[in-house]
């Protein structure tokens, strides 16, 4: 974890409202693991002070890149920034994915929207190839199909409107694939919370392990503010908490520190919003 003011190398539109931003960070780039994120302060923002978290998409030499979607003031301001302008970055942050081992479990990656960013770095770093399921509402939400293919992965595309790949939800081909076989397979997912929840349920139904990268609002990004918590199962040990604090056998853990990647079976979905 380092803090640096970094220069933008390039910042280009990918499709529609998705952009790719490359920054130069010689000291940070080598430290990055798949599933980790960068906490970015958008310096030109006017009266919005907080940093914004983005998964790290690619690492190349002394640069890393993010793949972002414009959704609000921060991302919209980033989208207007140009090469040479500066951002403040704290990275790498968080507990990332367990990188599949050669000859180990076959990774099935499930990615929705900007979730493809984190999945790409995982695929790239994984010596064990597998299948990647990418889904989105429309064709423009499918972001790095060619890049996954170039890595030699089997890419299954779905769009809700059928404008690209199969029509439907990303979980449909995933279920089909798991019906074929679950043996030695492990799920990795990043995307909208609804999708993660569905993948969590599928993992449970098919009894396959799954690692999910959770998307919670963040403030500090480093574990001090307790903004980004999600309910995680806890062993009901000899804790001295008052009874109502122990109900349900879970505690809040930090997405920015214990996560963003959690094992699906640890998450207490009933308690999440």
Partner 1 sequence: MNLSVQIGKLTLQNPVMVASGTFGYGVEYAQLLDLNQLGAVVVKGIRLHPVRGNPTPRTAEVTSGMLNAIGLQGPGVDGFIKKYWPFLKKLKVPAIINIWGKTVDEYAEVARRFDALGGVGALELNVSCPNIKEGGAQFGTDVKRLKQVVAACRKITELPLITKLSPNVVSIAPYALAAEEAGSDALAVTNSYPAMAIDIETRKPKLANGTGGLTGPCIKPIAIKLVWEAAKVVKIPIIGMGGIQNAADAIEFMMAGATAVAVGTANFYEPQTTLQVIAGLREFMQQHGLKDVREITGSVQTAK
Ligand X SMILES: Cc1cc2nc3c(=O)[nH]c(=O)nc-3n(C[C@H](O)[C@H](O)[C@H](O)COP(=O)(O)OP(=O)(O)OC[C@H]3O[C@@H](n4cnc5c(N)ncnc54)[C@H](O)[C@@H]3O)c2cc1C
Distance CA 26, CA 89 (A): 12
E-strand ranges in 44-153 read 52-55, 58-60, 63-69, 86-93, 106-112, 131-136
Closest Cα partner for 134 from 102, 172, 96?
172
Say whether residue 192 binds partner 1 (CB under 8 A): no
- Candidates 8, 79, 140, 219: give the one binding partner 1 (CB under 8 A): 219
Given the DSSP bridges, would you call strands 52-55 and 261-263 parallel, antiparallel or unpaired?
A: unpaired
Under the rule (CB under 6 A), what is the footprint of ligand FES?
Answer: 218-221, 223-228, 254-256
Peptide bond before residue 206 is cis, with ω within 30 degrees of 0: no
Among 216, 251, 263, 266, binds ligand X (CB under 6 A): 216
Contacts of residue 100, defined as CB under 8 A and 6 or more positions apart, other chains included, come to 106, 107, 126, 127, 128, 130, 186
- Figure out which of the listed residues 37, 64, 120, 153 binds ligand X, where binding follows CB under 6 A: 37
Contact positions vs a second copy (CB under 8 A)? 45-47
Among 136, 143, 189, 215, binds ligand X (CB under 6 A): 215
77 sits near partner 1 (criterion: CB under 8 A): no
Please give the structure tokens belonging to residue 111: 């990615």
CA 266, CA 251: separation in Å to the nearest integer? 11
Q: Is 33 in the site for ligand X (CB under 6 A)?
A: no
Q: Which helix (H) or strand (E) holds 159?
A: strand 154-159
Q: Is 95 in the site for ligand X (CB under 6 A)?
A: no
Contact partner at residue 35 from partner 1, ligand X, a second copy, none, CB < 5 to 8 Å by partner kind: none
- One of 23, 228, 232, 261 touching partner 1 (CB under 8 A): 228
CB of 219 to partner 1, least distance (A): 5
- Note the residues at the interface with partner 1 (CB under 8 A): 1-3, 41, 47-51, 88, 90, 216-217, 219-230, 239-242, 245, 251-252, 257, 271, 273
- Note the residues at the interface with ligand X (CB under 6 A): 37, 50, 52-55, 66-69, 71-75, 114, 117, 215-218, 260
């Amino acid at each position: 974890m380092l803090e640096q003011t970094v220069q933008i190398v390039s910042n280009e539109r990918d499709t529609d409202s998705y952009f790719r931003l490359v920054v130069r960070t010689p000291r940070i780039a080598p430290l990055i693991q798949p599933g980790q994120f960068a906490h970015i302060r958008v310096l030109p923002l006017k009266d919005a002070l907080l940093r914004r978290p983005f998964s790290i998409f690619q690492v190349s030499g002394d640069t890393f890149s993010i793949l972002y979607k414009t959704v609000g003031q921060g991302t919209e301001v980033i989208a207007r920034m140009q090469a040479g302008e500066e951002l403040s970055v704290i990275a790498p942050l968080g507990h990332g994915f367990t990188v599949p081992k050669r000859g180990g479990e076959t990774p099935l990656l499930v990615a929705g929207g900007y979730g493809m960013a984190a999945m790409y770095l995982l695929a790239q770093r994984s010596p064990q190839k597998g299948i990647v399921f990418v889904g989105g509402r429309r064709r423009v939400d499918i972001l790095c199909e060619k890049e996954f293919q170039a890595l030699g992965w089997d890419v299954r595309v779905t769009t809700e409107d059928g404008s690209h790949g199969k029509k439907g939800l990303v979980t449909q081909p995933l279920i089909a694939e798991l019906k074929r076989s679950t043996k030695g397979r492990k799920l990795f997912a990043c995307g909208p919370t609804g999708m993660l929840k569905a993948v969590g349920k599928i993992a449970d139904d098919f009894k396959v392990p799954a690692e999910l990268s959770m998307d919670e609002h963040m403030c500090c990004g480093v574990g001090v503010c307790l903004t980004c918590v999600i309910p995680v199962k806890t062993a009901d040990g000899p804790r001295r908490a008052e009874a109502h604090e122990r109900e349900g056998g879970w505690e809040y853990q930090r997405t920015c520190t214990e996560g963003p990647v959690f094992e699906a079976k640890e998450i207490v979905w009933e308690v999440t919003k």
